[in-house]
Amino acid sequence: MAEQKKQANICVVGSSNMDLISRIPRLPKIGETLVGRSFQMGCGGKGANQAVMAARLGARVTMVTKLGCDPLGRITYDNFRELGMDTSYVFFDQELFSGVAPIMVDDEGRNIIVIVPGANDNLLPADIRRADRAIRSADILICQMEVPLETSIEAMRMARAAGVRTIFNPAPARTLPQEIIELSDIIAPNETETEILTGIAVKSPGDAEAAACKLRDMGAAVVIITMGELGVLLLNKEGSSAHIPARKTRAVDTTGAGDAFIGTLAYFLALDKPLQEAIKRANSVAAVSVGRMGTQTSFPARAEIEELINGPI
């Protein structure tokens, strides 16, 4: 009998938003009105994006999130279902609206994002405890910062108690209690978030290594710092560092590229791929994402990713 192939089992606790994306020639000045070139609406939110990327790769994904009882919430919920995700712990708030994210993208692919959390702010530790089964049975738990901090901490405590590997993406960044850093088997900020967390401006791989060492001193086990076109800096649990170069691409829209990276990283780590190999594959997927408009709409399909890595997943 042929050996059954392992399926990645990933639980994501995090936000769901509706992205409202306007394409503009350049970023506006204060008080200035610009005429946009195009508009599109799409499902987003850091948690949902990371979950969708993992699901597109073929993972068994459980999403733990909270939506409003409104048309945008229904669109998001239907999107999860169409991707085959487990929606047992997608909760609906009776009072707050679904989260939204107005986004402006200029001709160089740079963006300005405003997040209005809505129901995301009411995803509470009690909701997470209701999702105990999904968290404890996962290969990997992913958390971010677009839901209340105590909610992410509760999920990561539960994962640690069950021996479940955790990836913490501290975005949007702010000052963090040491506990959540210590609960992170992998902490994965970008260069801007790294500077907020450590006070070290990341302008080079050397800067990233210094910042990663500081995050290790703060309690993180493994640090992965994404730096856009500068690539990724890894500091592993043994204290060794490695710089993984970025895949060259022309940036059209960087929105969601970091989420594509995290979702892909989690997927390949859940399949027991070596850490550096998982990072290289995540880098390739993120590079495809920045070459396209939109958030989840920019994520490559499984067949495209197999072509990128020159073989079946």
Cβ(91)–Cβ(65) under 8 Å? yes
Peptide bond into 170 cis (omega under 30): no
Per DSSP, the chain holds a count of helices (H) and strands (E) of 11, 13
Cβ(158)–Cβ(133) under 8 Å? no
Name residue 201's beta-bridge partners. none
Choose, from 19, 93, 253, 259, the residue flagged as catalytic: 259
E strand spans, the chain = 9-13, 17-23, 38-44, 60-68, 90-93, 99-105, 111-113, 140-143, 165-168, 186-187, 222-226, 232-235, 241-244
Name residue 111's beta-bridge partners. 105
* 259 noted as active-site residue: yes
- The strands making up 60-68's β-sheet, listed across from edge to edge, are 90-93, 60-68, 9-13, 140-143, 165-168, 186-187, 222-226, 232-235, 241-244
Taking alpha carbons only, the member of 96, 148, 144, 147 closest to residue 119 is 96
182 phi and psi angles, rounded to 5 deg: -65, -30
| Residue 177, number of CB atoms within 10 A of its CB | 11
3-class state of residue 310 by DSSP: coil
Name residue 61's beta-bridge partners. 10
Give the distance between the most distant pair of CA atoms in the chain.
68
Catalytic residues: 259
